[in-house]
Amino acid sequence: MKRIDTAEELRALLAEWHPEGDRIALVPTMGNLHKGHLSLVELAKENAERVIVSVFVNPTQFAPDEDYERYPRTLDKDALRLSRAGADVLFAPAAEVIYPNGIAQATTVTVPDLSAELEGESRPGHFAGVTSVVCRLFNICHPNLAVFGQKDFQQYVILKRMVKDLHLPVQLIAGPTARDNNGLALSSRNGFLNKDQQINAAVIYQALCAVTTMLEDGDRDFTALEHSAAEQIAAAGLEPDYISVRDADDLSLPSEGSTHLVVLAAACCGTVRLIDNVVVELPV
Ligand code: PAF
């Protein structure tokens, strides 16, 4: 596996790959890789001949009061894991490579409306940071496809919108959420939880599963379902931010007849903000 940190070096490698006609997959990450990321690399390998994994802790998607500084940076360990997982390239650029004009002067890419809802309501500017960096990564890496985790469901829907709206020639694929034995969705932020918090945080997935069961049983009182899930999460000592039943295609509010749904949740466990979701397919 090659470790590359400049756009020029990556472009030179792409030029070597180009005549071979290989499909290139990109797995964008912020590092501190866990089983969930490695399953995305696996999915990338199943769908492409060449796999680039980017590791870049993107400053523009963190608000000033968020955990950018303390976000875990474990590049050497990540490199080892990626090389064992069979990635071709670890692309780990510095901020100056991604934002050559500096962050204050950077061109931004924003998907309107949806970026201001749910996660966007609690984290203003977060999704503009995500779309701005992912668009740059696509322009540098020229992937045929890119793989993202379903755990960041809203991010995935927003990126699909960006790709369609900007006619970007890249196919997006979502990989399933990897979970601990108790159901807690794997996240780099789980490392900030102590043992008790890790046990308590599993309530988020339990509450999502309870809503799923009620939906499957025919319950369509979305608001009541959201309230009872929030109560279940609060009873375990977490602070729920939102629980929302949405249409899984575009995150619009569902109607009684909607059959392709997603239940999204965000809650704070101490100072750690956690998100999760479950997709629910109902019979037509
Ligand atoms: O999901 C993430 O880890 C990040 O938001 C991403 C897509 C790598 C952009 O920084």
Whichever domain contains 39, its CATH number is 3.40.50.620
Q: Residues 17, 121: one domain?
A: yes
| Residue 181 lies inside a defined structural domain of this protein | no
Report whether residue 28 contacts ligand 1, using a CB cutoff of 6 Å: yes
Report whether residue 58 contacts ligand 1, using a CB cutoff of 6 Å: yes
Domains: count for the chain: 2
Q: Residues 209, 231: one domain?
A: yes
Taking the C-alpha atoms of residue 102 and residue 81, their distance in angstroms, rounded to an integer, is 31
| Residue 182 lies inside a defined structural domain of this protein | no
C-alpha 17 to ligand 1 mean position (Å): 25
Q: Residues 34, 169: one domain?
A: yes
C-alpha 219 to ligand 1 mean position (Å): 34
**153-187 pLDDT per residue, tens:** 999 999 999 999 999 999 999 999 999 999 999 99
| Residue 40 lies inside a defined structural domain of this protein | yes
Domain that holds residue 218: 188-279
**179-226 pLDDT per residue, tens:** 999 999 999 999 999 999 999 999 999 999 999 999 999 999 999 999
C-alpha 207 to ligand 1 mean position (Å): 25
Write the CATH number for 231. 3.30.1300.10
Taking the C-alpha atoms of residue 14 and residue 22, their distance in angstroms, rounded to an integer, is 10
Q: Residues 101, 241: one domain?
A: no
**Among the three residues 142, 175, 208, which one is the final residue of a domain in this structure?**
175
Report whether residue 133 contacts ligand 1, using a CB cutoff of 6 Å: yes
C-alpha 105 to ligand 1 mean position (Å): 21
User: Which residue's C-alpha comes closest to atom 5 of ligand 1?
Assistant: 130
E strands present in the chain? 2-4, 24-29, 50-55, 89-91, 145-149, 171-175, 239-247, 260-269, 272-281
Q: Is 142 a catalytic residue?
A: no
Per the CB < 8 A criterion, the answer to whether 240 and 267 are in contact is yes
Taking the C-alpha atoms of residue 278 and residue 255, their distance in angstroms, rounded to an integer, is 18
Query: Which listed residue (37, 126, 142, 260) is catalytic?
Result: 37
CB neighbours of residue 78 within 10 Å = 21
139's CB contacts (< 8 A; 6+ apart) are none
| Residue 235 lies inside a defined structural domain of this protein | yes
Q: What is the mean pLDDT of each run of 10 residues along the chain (284 residues)?
A: 98 93 97 97 98 98 93 97 98 98 97 98 97 98 98 98 98 98 96 96 98 97 98 98 98 96 98 97 94
**pLDDT score for 67:** 86
